Amino acid sequence: MQNLSEQCLSIIQKRPKNSHKGTFGRTVLVGGNAQFGGAIMMSAEACVNAGSGLTTVITDPNNHQALHARMPEVMTADWNDNELCDSVLASADVILIGPGLGEDEKSQELLTYIFQKQTENQLLVIDGSAITLFAKNDEELPHPEQTIFTPHQMEWQRLSGIKIADQTEEINQAVQEKLEATIVLKSHHTEIYSEQEDFLNPLGNPGMATGGTGDTLAGIIAGFLAQFASSVEVINAAVYLHSYIADQIYYDNYIVLPTKISQALPYWMKQFEK
């Protein structure tokens, strides 16, 4: 397993002078039920601050007002409005589903709908509740090689069947090969399992043990994939930078608020641009 280092941030390129918002990708985030609206808002805040050109959130209408008040940069679509969701999804480069999605019938219906809509040119990031739902059902991934799962250890246990105590590199890698998707296995030492190689993130701290830190990482991964060419290196950079910024905040803060990580992204991306 290869240790990530600052060098992985070299995918953060200087923005071309003749660029426009379309240059940096369209990201669609799906999640946030009435109980967990904050999760999808944190993903959205991360995604916009990570540089996604256009970001739309498909969510429960209960969350629209709060989202607009917090982040006017984000567009919203009512997750009951099929016609609108169809058109939003058709132009997406990256879809993220799961943060705060919940596990009821509506949540399952949305996951199945996204599987039907994903095209071979679109990347799909599956996080949070969507991992738990996928683990429960017998659905097939439409495009495994275009899919990234971002489980914490318990979500990985549900998805892979491997008990947390048995989650060793060798066993995890075998399940990655079966799933054919990229796996970001989150913990105090996050690991990335890909078709090519496995990577270990050496950064991070216990201040990050706050609800929403993973929702934020999912938003950064989606935003990075939308604007930089799709590869495991881009996922590595998102994981590394998320923890790098959290470590900067932890230096003089007992708790690392997830939204503080998002707010610091544009500054640190500027420091590392090549």
Ligand X SMILES: NC(=O)C1=CN([C@@H]2O[C@H](COP(=O)(O)OP(=O)(O)OC[C@H]3O[C@@H](n4cnc5c(N)ncnc54)[C@H](OP(=O)(O)O)[C@@H]3O)[C@@H](O)[C@H]2O)[C@@H](O)CC1
Ligand Y SMILES: Nc1ncnc2c1ncn2[C@@H]1O[C@H](COP(=O)(O)OP(=O)(O)O)[C@@H](O)[C@H]1O
Binding annotation for (6S)-NADPHX:
39, 100, 152, 215
- Using CB under 6 A as the binding rule, whether residue 22 contacts ligand X is answered as no
Binders of ligand X among residues 212 to 231 (CB under 6 A) are: 212, 214-215
Q: Contacts with Mg ion in 92-151 (CB under 5 A)?
A: 128
Q: Binding string, 130-159, against ligand Y, x = CB under 6 A?
A: ----------------------x-------
101 binds, among ligand X, ligand Y, Mg ion, none (CB under 5 to 8 A by kind): ligand X
User: C-alpha distances in angstroms, 106 versus 33, 70, 86, 102, 136?
Assistant: 9, 25, 17, 8, 15
Contact 39, 11 (CB under 8 A): no
Residue of this chain nearest to Mg ion (CB atom): 214
- Shortest separation between residue 20's beta carbon and ligand X, angstroms: 32
Total chain residues near ligand Y (CB under 6 A)? 17
Residues between 212 and 241 with contacts to Mg ion, criterion CB under 5 A: 214
Among positions 122, 215, 222, 226, the unique one binding ligand Y when judged by CB under 6 A: 215
Binding residues for Mg ion (CB under 5 A): 128, 214
